[in-house]
């Protein structure tokens, strides 16, 4: 969906290009940090008890999961399943 008028889109890009390379790079880093915070919040909303490792895996999957070759995605699933089995709580 594209709901931005072409004139406004052009104006926006001109404003961005008027900034220095350092400012544009800083903006990119800030946007990346914001997206990571949003993804982390989403992961924690689904699983409030998620460990740091589970959060890192979740972020990786959200960012790169659809771009991974199938054999690597399958290996990641296998490794995650192994961790779940090893870390499964024991019954009292």
Q: What is the pLDDT of residues 35-60, one digit of tens each?
A: 999 999 999 999 999 999 889 888 98
CA 85 to chain centre: 26
d(CA 59, CA 48): 15
Give pLDDT, residue 16.
94
pTM, 2 dp: 0.66
d(CA 69, CA 23): 35
DSSP state, residue 23: H
């Amino acid at each position: 969906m594209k709901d931005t008028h072409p004139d406004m889109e052009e104006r926006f890009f001109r404003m961005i290009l008027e900034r220095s390379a350092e400012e544009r790079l800083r903006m990119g880093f800030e946007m990346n940090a914001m997206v990571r915070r949003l993804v982390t919040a989403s992961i924690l909303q689904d699983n409030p008890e998620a460990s740091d490792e589970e959060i890192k895996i979740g972020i990786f999957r959200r960012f790169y999961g659809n771009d991974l070759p199938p054999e690597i995605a399958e290996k990641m699933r296998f490794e995650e399943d192994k961790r779940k089995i090893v870390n499964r709580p024991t019954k009292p």
